[in-house]
Structure 1
Amino acid sequence: MSSRIIIKSLPRDITRDKLVSHVQKICPGVEVTDCNLKYTRDGVFRKFAFVGFNSSQDATTTCRKLNGTFITTTKIQTDMAADVGDGSIKAWSKYSARAKMKELAEGGKKKNNDAEADGETEMTKPQDVEEKEEAKPGRTGFVIKMKGFSGFYSEKTVKEFFKPIKPLKIRIPRNAQKKPMGVAFVEFSTEKDLEQAMGRNKNFINGKKIFLKKSAEEVVEKKASAPPVWEVKAKESEAQVESIGESGRLFVRNLWFGMTEEELEKVFGKFGPLAEVVLPVDPLTKKVKGFAHVVFVFPEHALKAYTELDYTSLHGRLMHILPGRENSSEDVSNEQSSYKKKKDLQQKANSSNSHNWNALFLGANAVADAMAKKYNTDKSRILDSDAKGSVGVRMALGETQIVAETRDFLLSHGVALDSFGQAAGERSKTVILVKNLPTGVTSDELREIFSRHGSVARVVMPPTGITAVVEYLEPSEARQGFLKLNFSKFRSIPLYLEWAPMGVFSTPAPSPVTKVEKKEEKEEDMDAKEGDEDDKDDNNNDGDDGGNDDGQMKTEQDESTEPEPEEGSTIFVKNLNFATTDEQLRQHFCDVGTVQSATVAKKKDPKKPGELLSMGYGFVQFMKKAEAMEALKMLQNSDLEGHKLELKLSTRPASQVRGRQKQVATKQTSSKILVRNIPFEANKKEIEELFKVFGELKFVRLPKKLRGTGPHRGFAFVDFLTKEDAKRAFNALCHSTHLYGRRLVLEWAEAEESLDELRRKTAQHFSDDGPKKKVSKSSIMKDLE
């Protein structure tokens, strides 16, 4: 339903402000989003207007209450506005050429009737009527185009120029501001008058030379009634459709100034997946500018959105959609740029992808600088290979200490570090994670850099200054800052930026304060010095968040006590359509029972870094095993997105089935740690040196290839004397410890775990259902029943 109404029979002296005031007087509390009074091209008010509202309910209520009310002494009429191009509504205007011709004809009939009643019928001859019809504008074709005007001019000026020749009609085109455009079209009744008028060529008006040119086609072209908006759009749509079909980009204008990106995503997301939605915001008022850029993943979805949404009402305003332009990068096309520069530009172009970087990543150079500053020594001594101990171990331990201090600081300032464990979770649009900062950077310096691209709500940076979290107030400003600063050089090293996951801050951002509010606040402080103590008390009361913390703890406790799915309640689904999503897979199985999770297996796209591709199979986990068995019977060989599904019961552990969810540390069962991703240049002595800092070791075993010859296999077993020492080492090294540039991955190993057991687990990890075993036909039929 439309959110716009039409108000007719308005008084001639009505203005936009008066009309809005009358609407809000009759319907208080209703927000008017648009008010458009209609005029002719000559500036004559047509006595009606369109008024838009925030919702269709407000429009319906206002239309009912406003109908029949009075503005001064004029009774107005209201009705719901129809969409542009509605075939059930016939556009008509008494100011159109056809209406004027009809009015002239009716006027002639009335004159004849009056003359007949007075006995004067004979005076009106048929040929007189024909001459009048021939003398109508647009029928002679004798037209002169005048140009060269300067300053103000009118029809009277043109008549004075051609005296004693009498023009049949004078038309002066005007712009949107109702000002003359420097030209005029003059029509004459006969060819003789036209030739005489051309003799005035290059004469002067107000000291300016006027040029005349015959324009016989102008009358027919200009006299034709203007086609409706939707017919003009249909003629121009071919080029627009072609442009949208190639780029998938839309430029949307005439939006309500209270629009948000979330609402825009909801409106356009119905037609297909969106790649980007940009809603620019004014840096001073913090309100949207009234237009947006929408980019679809698939251009055909953009065409569908353009066809169905163009000139439709949204929040009481008619959206106008045009083809969007792709951002041009002149630097990328420069053939003379070096390979390194081209690579940096390519990284910037792909920087908006949701890479799953390490949240606490520290570059080796930054670690060395931080260690030198912390221990008041030279950087060269830390990197000295002749010093006692391994340089790699020394750097790894330094990084571990810095990471521990950084974690404690971020947690104490409301940063939820656990949210970074979600590998493919939804990313924030306002919070940016800044990494690889040089030592000595202050939060004020970082705020100044990011504030150049928008209003920064807060900057959280640990004392080491190597990692920081920056939050913007507006998504569009955050996107601008991200694109401009990512991979940019800062103190001779590049900045690494990443969009933080949703929920990275446990506390809301400070409310935005505009320059006007700051000025008013300053004046209030100067006028109210005596009430400082009361204000401090109020501020202290407002800042009490104790209740929120309790509520958050209760929520976490409730989440931790959620019922776990039963064993054997997971189904392995094969032959999936590569376009099938997790939600579509869930909906296909939700009628059978309660679906705990539905995950389509994905892999990284080698052609598009940061994006994932479906592998054609997935897993569906129910809460109960009986529901999974029921799904096997009911949905075996069922159709989903044109593919016949192949189902069977999965024996994989639940932790592997749930896909890319929050990463949780495995439970400690012994004092033995399995260390993966060990660099091949590292040796057993260095592993011992790294772990013995946290307690006494039983042994360190580094399995090798080819019966003890050649390099090790990239993992090791580290066993401590006590579980407490093992836990201390695990908690310190599991977050972000790199050895020779490779991040160590730690897991708790079972006490009896051997190399054969590890091989079995690895084989099971890469197989669908683990080791194959023979199953009798009778047992299969029993399970299906």
Structure 2
Amino acid sequence: MSRIIVKHLPKHITEEKLRNIFGTKGVITDLQLKYTVDGKFRQFGFIGYSSEEEAQAAIKHFHNTCIQTSRVHVESCAALGSEEKPQSWSKYAKDSKKNLDIAKAEKEKEIAADKLKAKEKKTKEKKRNKVDEILGEHKDDPAFQEFMQAHDKTRSLWANDAGLAEKRDDDDQDDNEEEEEENKDVDPKPSIGRDDSGVDADAGEDEEEEDEQPVEKLAEKPISDLEYMKSLMATPSTSKTSTAVTTKKAKPDKSNLELFTIKIHNVPYNTKRQEVLKFFKPLKPYSVRLPGKVHGFCYVGFKTEKDMAKAMLKNKSFIKGKQVFFSDFTEKNKVTKANKEGRTITTTKSDGDTGKMGKWKQQQDSLQTEDNISESGRIFFRNLAYTITETDLQKLFEQFGPVVEINLPVDKITRKIKGFGTVTYMMPEHALKAFNSLDGSDFHGRLLHLLPGKELDKDGDKEDMDENDASLSFKQKKALKLKKSAQKPIGWNTLFLGANAVADILAKQFKTSKEHILDTSQGGSSAAVRLALGETQIVMEMKQFLEQEGVRLSAFDGVNQKRSKTVIVAKNLPAGTEVSELSPVFSRYGPIGRIVLPPSGVTALIEYCDASEARQAFKKLAYSKFKDAPLFLEWAPDETFTVSLNGEAIIPKSEPKLEPEPEPAKGKGKTEPVAEDADDEPEPETTIFLRNLNFKTVQETVWEHFRHLGTIHTVEIARRADPQNPRHSTSLGYGFIQFKKHSVAENALKNMQMTTIDGNSVELKRSDRVLKTQEQESSRRRQGSQKKQTGTKILVRNIPFQAQYREVRDIFKAFGELTSLRIPKKMAPGEDAHRGFGFVDFVTKADAKRAFDALSASTHLYGRRLVLEWATHEEHDDVEELRKRTAIKFDANQMATNAKRSRRAFFDVESNIPQSANNDDDDDNDGDM
């Protein structure tokens, strides 16, 4: 835990002083002093360090020390939601025992009040049902109706009170409010005294006089006696209330008037309302609001949108010699009014602003409609320390599964991260696991907060729709398809030069025209040879320039290697492109660290300072038009430069990859044989089957057990997936070991039989199995041996079929004197075409090496790249000898078609004959023949 808590701090300590004290033990990423709602300091705080070691050093140094006469207590913070967290005792803590007891008591009190209210409600319902039952019996009785008509005001008033009481009960049932508040809302004068007869004792004579005129009017209407008696039941207070409401509604409510508001910025100090009104003449603003405590802006409201549009024309005008700026504040003004009235509204502005609502609450509301993490695999993270790098986040999130992309925005002004970002996993289940494990965890001294990631922009879907649109041409569909697949690693030849670019560069160097370079009417070499040699010369100059600029050319030789996140290779640039032309195009997306552009100007390396800006530039500029050609972009290999932007030397991690092989060389007295045949191919019949291995035995143990016999090619232990945990595998108790030499394998079968490995006696048997790693290692060694010079002879592959013998000779003749050049022809009768490869033999090794280094980089003849390899010993033989040996192998293969063959035989590439490791089978074959 890199986050600590400091208790018993002085009352008047400041954050700056505390940062200076604890900053001596490491980089502080977060510091929080805790206060109450009233602003009282609680005398403790939290401090976050960039690493756990720094936090432990601070605890060890500052624990039980004094700060301004206060002995502080320093300890590590408990994880969020951890059961090991001690019980809080402060009354300000929500989880303290005192607050929990109070909350529990309040909850019990609420439950008791609800029970009492439900009981009272039930009693009232019983009474009401009883009254309804009594009245229902006499509802149609004429005597009862005559009785009700005879008792005019006294009984009517009693009936009115009963009706009001029923109304109160209904309101009480609907709103669940207290009875006193309900009486106050229904009857403004609930405390009117009544005499024994039920008549109001405090009713005034003036009120009776006011009711005389309405009563006379009612008497003139044709209504029944019962309706007339009901009209007399209305109390003076009720009539007064209705009159007051009518009067109140008659007055216009200006507060609810919707105004079109303009906010004026940069208003001069002490500007008065009359000056603002004068500024807008002849327009007449409906309202002008100048804040009293804050200066520099004001609000002007208009009744119609047309008046506001006319007023906006005065934007950037001057008030008292100071230029002012306008902004539309209509929607925000509505939100402010709604917040004051306790309402919530949604604005129609594009930015989705919802007034004073918290920015995190806005985000959570917007995430309600988003997909679940288990479906999208995208997580939004925030509350990062500003010292975090994308590499740190990559290591953190890759613990749970492969990560597709990490987006970490950078502030364009401060050049620091904004403290939040998104991560996208390849598999959604990995994202869900990371969310459950990392949310609320400590990361570089801060509590990491994770949320479901918002849905990506639908750019990709639009491209799919456009790509399938029938109205688009084939060229447009192809461009959209290329744009979509731009992020995929393509692995182009970085040093490739088109024929047109080569001709332009040569014409510029030799100060001539392209027609003269391609013209072969005056004799000399062909145009294809000139372009091939010109390309070779340009590539050599380019390689020399790149090495001088600190580019590691060996990084471009590998296949399927790790790619850089900040370095982009820009291809297909027009010849003669300059840095001043590239810089404005790529710098729109962020500051560029460096641009390396060779003199030819057809390929450039652009390195950005930030990875997120590099991704944005790659996405926007891939296959976009630059001058008269599309830009071909590719991510450069990792560790392309020898020196970083900070001037630090970059040590390549990809070069010393073969670490496990030196392990067999640790034995005493056997280091020389191991080193001599380490790169040799294993001989036939060198694989041994190991039986009765311990289930805990690993490959290193087997290697150590047999290493003293000789060089081991590979060790393999059979394993299967664990049913309980599919990510792990378990041993099956057997395996294989393959040596380099056949004699070493025979020695192991004789002398190492039934020897003990991890407590088990291992049985050895001969095996004819070819291990999978053999082919991989062989191909790797063949690729490495292609660059090791074996003599003066070079094997040239991928020669175009239209290329002539004379053209191939002219290309290699430019690097030295040739001994011979042989290009085998096809065996079919009547055809004079060659087979697409040949052998070039130089007089000296120096000339051969110079030709190999120059032509193997990137030399194209008739559009096809020449592939050069050093000829092996077998390829030194004459072509006729090769034909004879091939015929012998072919005849032997025909003779062996009816031979009995082992089901587990391996295939010998040299002889094309299935070889069996079982001697009995060989004897049987001989007998059959």
Give the TM-score band, short-chain normalised: 0.5 to 0.7
Q: Is the 8 A contact 1:705 1:713 kept in 2?
A: no
Q: Is the 8 A contact 2:552 2:640 kept in 1?
A: yes
Say which one has the larger Rg: 2
Q: Is the 8 A contact 1:650 1:769 kept in 2?
A: no
Report the counterpart of residue 508 of structure 2 in structure 1: 373
Q: What per-residue deviation string (whole Å, max 9, x for no partner) do you get for residues 91-134 of structure 1?
A: 78746699679559999xxxxxxxxxxxxxxxxxxxxx999979
User: In the alignment, which of 624, 640, 644 is matched to residue 504 of structure 1?
Assistant: 640
Following the alignment from structure 2 to structure 1, what is the Cα–Cα distance between the partners of residues 784 and 39? Answer: 64
Following the alignment from structure 1 to structure 2, what is the Cα–Cα distance between the partners of residues 131 and 356? Answer: 72
**1:378 and 1:480, CA in 2 relative to 1: closer, same or farther beyond 3 A?**
same
Report the counterpart of residue 610 of structure 1 in structure 2: none
Report the counterpart of residue 326 of structure 1 in structure 2: 456
C-alpha displacement at 1:261, in angstroms? Answer: 2.0
Match of 2:858, SS? Answer: coil
Q: Is the 8 A contact 1:593 1:622 kept in 2?
A: no
Q: Is the 8 A contact 2:824 2:834 kept in 1?
A: yes
Report the counterpart of residue 295 of structure 1 in structure 2: 424
Structure 1 counterpart of 2:422, one-letter code: H
C-alpha displacement at 1:441, in angstroms? Answer: 1.6
Match of 2:868, SS? Answer: strand
Report the counterpart of residue 21 of structure 2 in structure 1: 25
Comparing 253-262 with 690-699, greater Cα deviation is found at: 690-699
Q: How does 1:438-449 map to 2 (within 5 A)?
A: 438-449=574-585
Report the counterpart of residue 399 of structure 1 in structure 2: 535
Following the alignment from structure 2 to structure 1, what is the Cα–Cα distance between the partners of residues 405 and 376? Answer: 13
Q: Is the 8 A contact 2:825 2:832 kept in 1?
A: no
Report the counterpart of residue 482 of structure 1 in structure 2: 618
Following the alignment from structure 1 to structure 2, what is the Cα–Cα distance between the partners of residues 700 and 568? Answer: 29
Instruction: Determine whether 1:346 maps to 2:481.
Output: yes
Superposition RMSD in Å: 5.6
C-alpha displacement at 1:444, in angstroms? Answer: 3.4
User: In the alignment, which of 471, 477, 481 is matched to residue 607 of structure 2?
Assistant: 471
Following the alignment from structure 2 to structure 1, what is the Cα–Cα distance between the partners of residues 778 and 111? Answer: 92
User: In the alignment, which of 762, 774, 779 is matched to residue 915 of structure 2?
Assistant: 774
Following the alignment from structure 2 to structure 1, what is the Cα–Cα distance between the partners of residues 866 and 35? Answer: 72
Q: How does 1:245-324 map to 2 (within 5 A)?
A: 245-324=374-453
**1:778 and 1:664, CA in 2 relative to 1: closer, same or farther beyond 3 A?**
closer
Q: How does 1:485-564 map to 2 (within 5 A)?
A: 485-510=621-646, 563=675
Following the alignment from structure 1 to structure 2, what is the Cα–Cα distance between the partners of residues 658 and 702? Answer: 28
Report the counterpart of residue 4 of structure 1 in structure 2: 3
Match of 2:409, SS? Answer: coil
Structure 2 counterpart of 1:405, one-letter code: E
**1:346 and 1:387, CA in 2 relative to 1: closer, same or farther beyond 3 A?**
farther
Report the counterpart of residue 679 of structure 1 in structure 2: 800
Q: Is the 8 A contact 2:397 2:434 kept in 1?
A: yes
TM-score by length of 1: 0.63
Structure 2 counterpart of 1:208, one-letter code: S
Structure 2: any 5+ residue segments left out of the alignment?
122-176, 189-240, 257-336, 343-362, 657-661, 663-671, 688-696, 705-710, 717-735, 758-766, 894-905, 923-929
Q: Is the 8 A contact 2:686 2:738 kept in 1?
A: no
C-alpha displacement at 1:313, in angstroms? Answer: 0.8
Structure 2 counterpart of 1:694, one-letter code: F
Comparing 391-400 with 624-633, greater Cα deviation is found at: 624-633
Report the counterpart of residue 666 of structure 2 in structure 1: none
Following the alignment from structure 1 to structure 2, what is the Cα–Cα distance between the partners of residues 42 and 359? Answer: 66
Q: How does 1:686-705 map to 2 (within 5 A)?
A: 686-697=807-818, 698-704=820-826
Following the alignment from structure 1 to structure 2, what is the Cα–Cα distance between the partners of residues 204 and 480? Answer: 60
Structure 2 counterpart of 1:267, one-letter code: L
Structure 1 counterpart of 2:879, one-letter code: S
Structure 2 counterpart of 1:6, one-letter code: I
Q: Is the 8 A contact 1:571 1:650 kept in 2?
A: no
Following the alignment from structure 1 to structure 2, what is the Cα–Cα distance between the partners of residues 202 and 71? Answer: 66
User: In the alignment, which of 58, 63, 72 is matched to residue 62 of structure 1?
Assistant: 58
Q: Is the 8 A contact 1:332 1:342 kept in 2?
A: no
Structure 1 counterpart of 2:380, one-letter code: F
Following the alignment from structure 2 to structure 1, what is the Cα–Cα distance between the partners of residues 26 and 799? Answer: 65
Following the alignment from structure 1 to structure 2, what is the Cα–Cα distance between the partners of residues 410 and 508? Answer: 15
TM-score by length of 2: 0.55
**1:413 and 1:777, CA in 2 relative to 1: closer, same or farther beyond 3 A?**
same
Report the counterpart of residue 433 of structure 1 in structure 2: 569
Following the alignment from structure 2 to structure 1, what is the Cα–Cα distance between the partners of residues 88 and 364? Answer: 17
Q: What per-residue deviation string (whole Å, max 9, x for no partner) do you get for residues 673-726 of structure 1?
A: 322112333333432343333345534424225345275432233344555544
C-alpha displacement at 1:79, in angstroms? Answer: 4.1
Report the counterpart of residue 656 of structure 1 in structure 2: 778
Structure 1 counterpart of 2:476, one-letter code: K
Match of 1:404, SS? Answer: helix
**1:649 and 1:66, CA in 2 relative to 1: closer, same or farther beyond 3 A?**
closer
C-alpha displacement at 1:394, in angstroms? Answer: 2.5
Q: What per-residue deviation string (whole Å, max 9, x for no partner) do you get for residues 535-557 of structure 1?
A: xxxxxxxxxx9xx99xxx99xxx
Report the counterpart of residue 517 of structure 2 in structure 1: 382
Following the alignment from structure 2 to structure 1, what is the Cα–Cα distance between the partners of residues 252 and 82? Answer: 48
Q: What per-residue deviation string (whole Å, max 9, x for no partner) do you get for residues 357-384 of structure 1?
A: 2121112221121122112222234345
Instruction: Determine whether 1:35 maps to 2:39.
Output: no
Following the alignment from structure 1 to structure 2, what is the Cα–Cα distance between the partners of residues 662 and 568? Answer: 13
Number of aligned positions between the proteins: 610
Following the alignment from structure 2 to structure 1, what is the Cα–Cα distance between the partners of residues 579 and 112? Answer: 83
**1:375 and 1:93, CA in 2 relative to 1: closer, same or farther beyond 3 A?**
same
Name which structure has the greater RCO, CA cutoff 8 Å, separation 6+: 1
**1:390 and 1:292, CA in 2 relative to 1: closer, same or farther beyond 3 A?**
same
Match of 2:612, SS? Answer: helix
Instruction: Determine whether 1:84 maps to 2:213.
Output: no
Identity rate, percent: 39
**1:364 and 1:130, CA in 2 relative to 1: closer, same or farther beyond 3 A?**
closer
Structure 2 counterpart of 1:353, one-letter code: K
Match of 1:732, SS? Answer: helix
C-alpha displacement at 1:317, in angstroms? Answer: 0.8
Q: Is the 8 A contact 1:366 1:439 kept in 2?
A: yes
Following the alignment from structure 2 to structure 1, what is the Cα–Cα distance between the partners of residues 33 and 72? Answer: 14
Q: Is the 8 A contact 2:681 2:778 kept in 1?
A: no
Q: What per-residue deviation string (whole Å, max 9, x for no partner) do you get for residues 495-554 of structure 1?
A: 222222233323343559xxxxxxxxxxxxxxxxxxxxxxxxxxxxxxxx9xx99xxx99
